[in-house]
Structure 1
Amino acid sequence: MATSTSMDFWLPDELNAAAPAERRGIRRDHVKLLVLDRKSGEVSHDIFYNLEQYLSPGDVIVLNNSRTLPAILKAQDGTELRLARRIDSRTWDVLLVSDRVKQGDTFFFSNTLSATVTGDECDSPITRVMFSKEGTALLEELYALGEPVRYEYIQEPWGLEYYQTVFASKPGSVEMPSAGRAFSWQLLKRLQQKGVKIAYMQLHTGLSYFLDDKWEHSPEDNLEEYDIPVETMQEVQRAKEHGHKVIAVGTTVVRALETAAKTNALSGWTNLYITGDYQLQVADAIITGMHEPKASHLDMLCAFVAPNHLFNAYGLAIQERYLWHEFGDMNLIV
């Protein structure tokens, strides 16, 4: 297993963003932006709406347009089911919050939707289930019955629309690909008017936390499905050939692009764990949120910038009262 940088720091509780920007009185594209220079480590502070000032004509921004599912279901007996990873049109790996689960158990969520445990018991919190519906019919049930995954720093049950990017189109993510949340259509239009190219791909995010710290897992344990359109990869290759930057929006995009470069496969599954000693082949810059202490995402960021520069930038972000997590502020490493 790859080693972790284990970047640790003290994050005050009040810097955990508990509400979306829109419910804090600002537009989603007006959150703070911390800009970190990859080479010098220099830090500047701005708002996200001014992103275009840090990019050049011909640069390509790659966005993950996976749409967030309402991934928590409550069974009629009170059992909670959290989707973890889609296997096929009716089969999912899930986290069942229950004292005892055995093969053959069936959980009923409504008169029309149930899920039966098909996997054997094992030393893991994840269980495989088969739903009574599949494909679009299953998605319709999930959207009717489910609610989005939220963590302890978010007390309010915000609606699913707050967990979507404006460009989300293909359902499949258990947790929001949150690095793209701050983009608005107005900002995307401004970037295009400047000559920045916008390209899309999908990586469907899995469940990252199993409600018990003993089950912390590495990205190597987390297989996620991705698909990169040929047109997107062509835009990326043109940018590279002409000396322009490829800006990945989120760790999910970095993971997908670098997997494609490594395997020559534009779609499939990835468990790529990128750390500080990884030689990035595609991504020149990253737009991402603020990541919690010791998070594996920090290991990936160290492939873009030296750990001491990153640590210093995070210290300044705390001083400047940046907000963390999916509803928080943004970081551009370029």
Structure 2
Amino acid sequence: MMINSTIHSFKLPPYLHATTPAEVTRNQRSDVRLLTLHGDSGAWDHHTFEDIIDLLQPNDLLILNTSRTIPSSLRTVDGGEIRLSRKIDEQVWEVLILEKRLNESTTLYFDDGISASIVGPGMAPELTLIEFSIGGEGLMHFFYNHGQPITYEYIDTPWQLSHYQTVYSHQPGSVEMNSAGRAFSHKMLKQLKDKGVQISYVCLHTGLSYYENNRWPDPLRHFEWFSVGADTVEHIYKTKKGGHRVVAVGTTVVRALESAHDPKAGLQPQEGLTNVYIDKDTTLKVVDGLITGFHEPEASHLDMLCAFVQEKKLIEAYQAAINEQYLWHEFGDLNLIWKQTYA
């Protein structure tokens, strides 16, 4: 994984791992905190997430990821766990096989008589290609009937799949939740529209963000499917021409939009696979602001944040969030970062 030593310079206390959805503990999913960070000055401010209605201006453009989380943790008949990572075709998936003994097999067996053949290595050394005995809608139904949401060690309760969805997602395909938009409620989105904030959409199906046992994806070998439509492209050009801001909800949206930007032709409608890696040396061409969660020291998402704000300022803001006991991960608090201007 490509990382910078500065990004490792904070430690996350275990008690800041969010383990419970906000709507369970505080009745509504929007009841989380928001740290705003200004890329130029490095100054930060503390807010509630619902303050986003005041922080965004009329004709700012908020871009959401419509990808919906699928239940991507499967159990074999003998109890082994398989985690979906990326769809290759209607029957073939790239997966993470957690038990070494299963990697030594040639066929995996699941409930309902479904099986999968191991057909080769995946794009990353930790991943494996498997071909299921069924495909298409039948295979998707099998996932929904027998799969569970992927959870990591800090989650100790088996939350329902609905807790791993955003209210606006409608295209099944992500193996993990696009959690930056989780706190938006239908009411908040309507309030933003009533204020004059514009909303547009992209789709990016997320792959696995962690391979267990302290193994993280190499961003350049981490391919994800995305789509940026013509309406969104037109909306962005109109926003930019009017001198307003484009705000991405999630690192997935940044990756999709910057992947669709051609150095010569500019932003174009596009769909396909991307392995675009964004870090401190990247000049962002499309996005002006980013709403995102708080990320662990090892996560490559932090590399992307350094395209918005200098590493030192980012880590100082993260330390402030730790001091104020902001919560991390998919059920945690959020961060709004305004991009630094470039000379």
Give the shorter-chain TM-score range. over 0.9
After superposition, give the CA deviation of every residue in 1:264-310 in whole Å (9 maximum; x if it has no partner). 45101111110111000000000000111132111111111122221
- Conservation of the 8 A alpha-carbon contact between 1:6 and 1:295: no
State the match for 1:270 in structure 2.
274
Mean Cα deviation higher: 316-325 or 257-266: 257-266
Q: Secondary structure at the match of 2:192?
A: helix
Letter in 2 for 1:132: S
Q: Distance in 2 between matches of 1:178 and 1:330?
A: 10
Q: State the 1:216 CA deviation.
A: 2.6
- Conservation of the 8 A alpha-carbon contact between 1:31 and 1:48: yes
Q: Secondary structure at the match of 1:119?
A: strand
Matching residue within 285, 304, 326 for 2:308: 304
- Conservation of the 8 A alpha-carbon contact between 1:246 and 1:283: yes
After superposition, give the CA deviation of every residue in 1:170-215 in whole Å (9 maximum; x if it has no partner). 00001101111011000100110111111111100001211222x4
- Conservation of the 8 A alpha-carbon contact between 1:209 and 1:216: yes
- Conservation of the 8 A alpha-carbon contact between 2:124 and 2:221: no
Change over 3 Å in CA distance of 1:121–1:169 after alignment to 2: closer
State the match for 2:147 in structure 1.
146
State the match for 1:206 in structure 2.
207
Letter in 2 for 1:299: D
Task: Name segments (4+ residues, structure 1) moved above 4 Å.
Answer: 101-104, 120-123
State the match for 1:92 in structure 2.
93
Change over 3 Å in CA distance of 1:5–1:248 after alignment to 2: farther
State the match for 1:253 in structure 2.
253
1:57-96 aligned at under 5 Å gives the runs 57-96=58-97
State the match for 1:166 in structure 2.
167
Give 5+ residue unaligned stretches, structure 2. 339-343
State the match for 1:281 in structure 2.
285
Q: Distance in 1 between matches of 2:246 and 2:121?
A: 44
Mean Cα deviation higher: 95-104 or 41-50: 95-104
1:1-334 aligned at under 5 Å gives the runs 4=4, 6-8=6-8, 9-101=10-102, 105-119=106-120, 124-213=125-214, 215-262=215-262, 264=268, 266-334=270-338
TM-score (norm 1): 0.95
Q: State the 1:99 CA deviation.
A: 2.3
Letter in 2 for 1:278: T
Q: State the 1:117 CA deviation.
A: 1.1
Q: Distance in 2 between matches of 1:212 and 1:72?
A: 17
- Conservation of the 8 A alpha-carbon contact between 1:103 and 1:119: no
- Conservation of the 8 A alpha-carbon contact between 1:101 and 1:121: no
Q: State the 1:102 CA deviation.
A: 6.0
Q: Distance in 1 between matches of 2:6 and 2:220?
A: 16
Aligned length: 333
Q: Distance in 2 between matches of 1:233 and 1:319?
A: 40
* CA RMSD across the alignment: 1.9
- Conservation of the 8 A alpha-carbon contact between 2:3 and 2:298: no
Letter in 2 for 1:168: S
Q: Distance in 1 between matches of 2:122 and 2:164?
A: 32
State the match for 2:341 in structure 1.
none
Q: Distance in 2 between matches of 1:82 and 1:44?
A: 38
Q: State the 1:120 CA deviation.
A: 5.4
Change over 3 Å in CA distance of 1:122–1:175 after alignment to 2: closer
Q: Distance in 2 between matches of 1:121 and 1:25?
A: 41
Give 5+ residue unaligned stretches, structure 1. none
Q: Distance in 1 between matches of 2:229 and 2:269?
A: 11
After superposition, give the CA deviation of every residue in 1:232-271 in whole Å (9 maximum; x if it has no partner). 1111111111111000111110001000003745101111
- Conservation of the 8 A alpha-carbon contact between 2:211 and 2:217: no
Change over 3 Å in CA distance of 1:322–1:104 after alignment to 2: closer
- Conservation of the 8 A alpha-carbon contact between 1:199 and 1:232: yes
Letter in 1 for 2:157: E
TM-score (norm 2): 0.92
